Amino acid sequence: MVVLSQAAIFLRRAWRDGKEMGLSEDRLRSGFKTGVISALGPSVAVLAGMLALIATIGGPVAWMRLSVIGSVAFELPAAELGVSQFGYSLGDPNISQRAYATAVWAMTLGGTGWLLVAAFGTRHMEKAREKISNGNEKLIPIISSAAMLGAFAYFLSGEATAGTPETGSIAVGGLVMLALLRLADSRDIQWIREWALGGAMLVGLVVGTALQLTVGSWW
């Protein structure tokens, strides 16, 4: 209920601010639909991470960390780091109480950083954005795109060389994304643009799973 309430508040605020910025109803609906579709791909990854965490730290803690507080990109490595201090890995049966507690503390303490930044830094983001752009509004889309590319590159850098399934998943997913966007631009098909990210992530997930089950990891 907390997550749904937050989503409803953010949606209402975004819709109101969009109208104040002069966006039409059609553009607002298109943005909303694109956001919903784009959320499907990451939700599959969160579900897979949830299953991995449940096997080690149980359902309640896994649900709390991945549905309200944390991110699957952080929670899995943090839990793995915690249990590895005692010679265990995620999914190992009969881990010790100290390994379990260490994993939970690693996730909890490690996740406080972005909570503090969001709580105390959000109000200053607009001033930081204006200072970075130096008053040039044309730089805002470029800076935003660069930040997004940097975030994706950061998350992919560790996975790209982690093994054959990971490398194949990233490569195929990226190629599918480019192909779908090129097809959408050449034929001006809006729904392909909306489904491009979710479709590319789903194809990459399937390819990575298939490689893991067939050839395994070559490095």
Instruction: Write the pLDDT tens digit of every residue in 140-176.
Output: 788 878 887 887 787 777 777 778 888 899 899 999 9
Q: 169-214, pLDDT tens digit by residue?
A: 989 999 998 999 899 889 888 778 777 877 888 888 889 889 988 8
Q: CB-side exposure of 78: number of CA atoms within 13 Å?
A: 22
Q: Between 164-187 and 139-160, two packed helices, what is the crossing angle to 10 degrees?
A: 150
Residue 30 has pLDDT above 70, yes or no: yes
Burial 183-201 (b: 16+ CB within 10 A, else e): ebeeeeeeebbbbbbbbbb
The model's pLDDT over 88-110, given as tens digits with 9 standing for 90+, comes to 887 788 889 999 999 999 988 88
Residue 198 in contact with residue 192, Cβ under 8 Å?
no
**What phi and psi, each to the nearest 5 degrees, are found at residue 22?**
95, 10
DSSP 93: S
Q: How far apart are CA 33 and CA 169, in angstroms?
A: 26
Indicate if the alpha-carbon torsion angle 160, 71, 48, 91 is positive or negative: positive
**How much is the mean pLDDT over the chain?**
82
Asked whether residue 2 carries a pLDDT value surpassing 80, the answer given is: no
